[in-house]
A = this chain, B = another copy of it.
């Protein structure tokens, strides 16, 4: 534990990604939480908003201050889309590393980003520098990065599930299907009717079939992995549970393959990806609160189609946990530092 402490700033932090980041950092052996900003909650004790942090986080939210943030080693943006792009430049110039947990730096084609996110990008010149923070793909680039675009929750699960198949070049790239299911915390801590318990509980539905912002992100990164254009249908669904994503992925195999072995080999060295034994069905609860991705792979009913079942906690491996994992890599810490939480079961 000789590693020096990393001084940390958080912009935002009143949403679910924020409280989860605080939970993880408060248990991290090398993290020193120095400042957390919120325009709307300035003055409020963080633990008054999130009572699970009582006795563990003593900070108050403060007004956003460039000076305070510039004194940190790293700043996390746990903000709505469109905030990080306004603050990243100044922080980078001050020598601060930046990890954006929102979407501002995930899409390399600025026109595509502006179409899907409905606003003008404030610093397109940083897009080329930003590193897409999926360690299982980009670990080496993350090590040297100043600016991390932390992946979305659906994109993390879909990419980790398709990755071995695409790298091996054994599936039809024209007909990928990602049938994804998410708990409602993925919609954020915003007052909306459709995510009220009385609306979303004891119910199941698809949404955004004709277009979801994670679609271009997933396709961009899968194409990066495959090296060629591909086509995917992405159908997200809302599950009446708090946390968790289950991606059920379908790909036509172009020839015979030992998928179990392929997946096990690909992820053999990964601390946070668990390929389960053949025949398994991962539960989302098996990663609840933990920075894990568990995967099972099947070839049902004839074997022509690979079916990948992939679960993560959308707030951990799909957001705050992966952000801490990226921080660990950037600062030369053990990649698992502060991420030893075991999933809560039941």
Identify the A interface with B (CB < 8 A): 16, 19, 23, 26-27, 50-56, 174-175, 177, 179, 181, 183-185, 187, 189-193, 195-207, 209-211, 215, 231-235, 237, 239-244, 246, 248, 250, 252, 274, 276, 279, 281-290, 294, 298, 300-302, 304-305, 307, 309, 311, 340-346
Contacts and interface: CB of A to CB of B under 8 A. Distances in A.
Contacts of A211: 300-301
B179 A189 contact: no
B210 A177 contact: no
Contacts of A283: 51, 203-205
Contacts of A237: 181, 246, 248
Number of copies: 4
Given A51-B286, A181-B181, A343-B52, A193 B204 contact: no
Contact of A244 (B204, B287, B290, B294): B204
B202 A242 contact: yes
A248 B53 CA distance: 23
A14 to B, nearest CB: 10
21 contacts: A19-B346, A27-B340, A52-B288, A52-B343, A54-B294, A177-B177, A183-B202, A184-B196, A184-B197, A191-B191, A197-B242, A198-B242, A201-B201, A203-B244, A203-B284, A205-B281, A206-B246, A209-B281, A210-B279, A233-B300, A237-B246
A272 to B, nearest CB: 10
A205 B284 contact: yes
Given A27-B342, A305-B175, A235 B207 contact: no
A153 to B, nearest CB: 14
Nearest to A200: B197
Contact of A206 (B27, B174, B309): B309
A294 B237 CA distance: 16
Contact of A285 (B55, B187, B203, B244): B203
A184 B209 contact: no
Nearest to A24: B342
Contacts of A54: 274, 276, 286, 294
Contacts of A239: 204, 239-240
A195 B199 CA distance: 10
B242 A346 contact: yes
Given A51-B276, A209-B300, A189 B181 contact: no
A199 B285 CA distance: 9
B202 A288 contact: yes
Contacts of A298: 209-210
A250 B178 CA distance: 11
Contacts of A276: 51, 54
Contacts of A279: 210
Contacts of A250: 177, 179, 233, 250
A197 B240 contact: yes
A276 B215 CA distance: 24
A322 B3 CA distance: 33
A344 B288 contact: yes
Nearest to A231: B302
